[in-house]
Structure formats: structure tokens, C-alpha cells
């Protein structure tokens, strides 16, 4: 069974704090993704990565950065959290040979006060 885990289910931070969201997958997948999910907007891609140390901007990268130092781990970083980054964050992974099958983590609900 593919498992994608995220470091926290719920997180509360203050405006201006630096926030790290961690995602780990155990199936040796090359591709990893970070989305945010907001009511009425669905899922929007923030960043993705095809390999270690590689990253690509998605549709809404502003205010975020990422890190992929190991194949199994993909971190999303909010350099200075703002209230408009309050959202549900979903991590996903897929293999290069079966890119059509994305596996999602349970999500992290982040609240920025």
C-alpha cells in the first residue's frame, strides 16, 4: 500500500512565523506535489518536484518555497505566514512511469492568526 504521510493534521501559527509542512512517501516515487484546497476553488497546485533537488512552480507559488533533499520527503515552507494562507494543504506523489496515479496524504489544516 502506498502511504503518503504529512507531519501534522492541524497546525495553528501566527502571522509572520516561518512554517514548515512535511510530506513523506514510502513508495520510491519520483514525483511529489503540494496543493492547497479552498472551498469553491478546489485544489490548486503550489509546487511540484520530479526528482531530488528539482522543483517547479505550480499555479500559485507566491509566498511559498519548497525543499526536496531526499527522494521520499518534500517540504513546503511558508517564509512569513499570512492570514490568507489559512487553508488545507495536501501533498501527493506519483511514479514517473505511472504519473496518472497520484496518491494523496490526509492533509494539514493550517490556520494563521
Q: Quick one: 45 or 77, whose CB is closer to another protein?
A: 45
Based on the shown chain and the rule CB under 8 A, indicate whether residue 43 belongs to the binding site for another protein. yes
Q: Mark the segment that binds another protein (CB under 8 A) among 11-19, 61-69, 78-86, 98-106.
A: 98-106
User: Whole-angstrom Cα distance, residue 38 to residue 2?
Assistant: 25
Closest by CA to 5, choosing from 77, 73, 86, 95, is: 73
- 8 A C-beta contact, residue 68 and residue 53: yes
**Interface residues with another protein (CB under 8 A)?**
4, 33, 35, 37, 40-45, 48, 58, 90, 92, 99-102, 104-107
Amino acid at each position: 500500500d502506498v502511504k503518503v504521510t504529512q507531519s501534522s493534521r492541524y497546525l495553528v501559527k501566527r502571522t509572520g512565523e516561518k512554517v514548515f509542512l512535511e510530506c513523506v512517501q514510502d513508495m520510491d516515487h519520483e514525483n511529489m506535489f503540494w496543493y492547497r484546497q479552498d472551498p469553491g476553488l478546489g485544489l490548486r497546485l503550489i509546487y511540484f518536484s520530479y526528482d531530488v533537488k528539482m522543483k517547479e512552480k505550480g499555479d500559485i507559488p507566491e509566498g511559498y518555497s519548497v525543499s526536496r533533499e531526499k527522494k521520499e520527503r518534500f517540504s513546503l515552507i511558508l517564509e512569513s505566514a499570512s492570514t490568507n494562507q489559512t487553508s488545507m494543504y495536501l501533498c501527493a506523489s506519483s511514479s514517473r512511469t505511472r504519473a496518472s496515479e497520484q496518491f494523496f496524504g490526509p492533509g494539514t489544516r493550517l490556520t494563521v492568526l
